[in-house]
Amino acid sequence: MSATLTSHRLAAGRPALHNTARRCPSLQPMRRSINVVRASSFELDPDNASILVAGGGGVALSVTRKLKDMGSWVWQLQRTENHRKDIEGMMAIVVKGDATNSEDVEKAFASIDGVEAVISSVGGTTADPTADSLGNITLIEAAARHGVKKFILVTSIGAGDSKQATPPQVYETLKPVLLEKEKAEARLREMGSTMDFVIIRPGGLKSEPATGKGILTEDTTVCGAITREDVATLVVKSLFSKNASGKTLSAVDPDQLFGNPKVEEFKL
**Per-residue model confidence (pLDDT) at position 44:** 85
> Above 90 in pLDDT, residue 115?
yes
Higher pLDDT, 104 or 3: 104
> Above 70 in pLDDT, residue 11?
no
**Per-residue model confidence (pLDDT) at position 231:** 98
**Per-residue model confidence (pLDDT) at position 180:** 98
> Above 90 in pLDDT, residue 38?
no
Q: What is the mean pLDDT of the chain?
A: 87
> Above 50 in pLDDT, residue 12?
no
Q: Terminal CA-to-CA distance of the chain, rounded, Å?
A: 36
pTM assigned to the model: 0.85
> Above 60 in pLDDT, residue 4?
no
Determine contact, residues 224/21, Cβ cutoff 8 Å.
yes
Determine contact, residues 110/18, Cβ cutoff 8 Å.
yes
Higher pLDDT, 10 or 113: 113
> Above 60 in pLDDT, residue 27?
no
pLDDT, tens digit (0-9, with 9 covering 90-100), for 187-200: 999 999 999 999 99
**Per-residue model confidence (pLDDT) at position 197:** 97
Determine contact, residues 130/108, Cβ cutoff 8 Å.
no
**Per-residue model confidence (pLDDT) at position 32:** 44
**Per-residue model confidence (pLDDT) at position 36:** 42
**Per-residue model confidence (pLDDT) at position 41:** 61
Ranges of each domain in the chain: 3-23+31-256
pLDDT, tens digit (0-9, with 9 covering 90-100), for 140-154: 999 999 999 999 999
pLDDT, tens digit (0-9, with 9 covering 90-100), for 51-63: 999 998 899 999 9
**Per-residue model confidence (pLDDT) at position 13:** 36
pLDDT, tens digit (0-9, with 9 covering 90-100), for 217-250: 999 999 999 999 999 999 999 999 999 999 999 9
Fold held by 3-23+31-256:
Rossmann fold (3.40.50)
